[in-house]
Amino acid sequence: MSGDAPTESSREPTTRPALEEEGRHLREQLKELDRDESSLAFDDNFADSGQVAAEQGENAALAGQLREQLDDVERALGKLDDGTYGRCEVCGEPIGDDRLEAMPATRFCIVHAG
Ligand SMILES: [Zn+2]
């Protein structure tokens, strides 16, 4: 680092690649899950149907979570485009830099999280 202080306008150059990277990662995980699911469905000898159903249920739950995260990432990228990134969707206050750094796709400030 050259010692430049971080400013509002310097956030995007690091945030966008971080979000894009996270989106890529989430899509890969979803692809893996799809593959697992189809291999489970055709592998009748490997496990009894109850176990297969249980694993498919787990995969479906995990896939749902991943899709939600991917939604958040894509929404955050859209906000970067229209200049509303980094504000809480409930109160409209700026979200803390520490929080954005830890969770670039978060939509809420620490007060309204969860
Ligand atoms: Zn808030």
Question: Does 3 score more than 70 pLDDT?
Answer: no
Q: Is 3 left (phi over 0), alpha (psi -120 to 50) or beta?
A: left
Q: How many Å lie between the centroid of ligand 1 and the Cα of residue 64?
A: 25
The mean predicted confidence, pLDDT, of the chain is 85
Q: State the first-to-last Cα distance of the chain, in angstroms, to the nearest integer.
A: 35
- Token pair, residue 5, equals 């202080």
CA of 24 to the centre of ligand 1 (A): 28
In a domain, 25, yes or no: yes
Span 84-113, mean pLDDT? 94
47 in any annotated domain: yes
Task: Specify if 90 maps to a domain.
Answer: no
Q: Are 74 and 16 within 8 A, CB to CB? A: no
Owner of token pair 């894009």? 20
Q: What is the pLDDT of residue 40?
A: 61
pLDDT in tens, 30-68: 999 988 777 665 555 555 788 888 888 888 999 999 999
94 CA → ligand 1 middle, Å? 8
Range of the domain at 42: 12-85
Calculate how far, in angstroms, residue 99's C-alpha sits from the geometric centre of ligand 1: 12
Indicate whether 55 belongs to any domain.
yes
100 in a structural domain: no
To the nearest whole percent, how much of the chain has pLDDT over 90?
A: 61
88 Cα to the center of ligand 1, angstroms: 5
Q: Is residue 33 part of a domain?
A: yes
List the one residue out of 29, 99, 34 whose CA is nearest residue 70. Answer: 29
pLDDT band at residue 80 under the 50/70/90 scheme? very high
In a domain, 64, yes or no: yes
Res 54: pLDDT:
87
CA of 111 relative to ligand 1 center, distance in Å? 5
Q: What is the pLDDT of residue 42?
A: 56
Into how many domains does the chain fold?
1
Question: Residue holding tokens 């309204």?
Answer: 112
- The answer to the question of residue 1 being in a domain is no
State the pLDDT at residue 48. Answer: 73
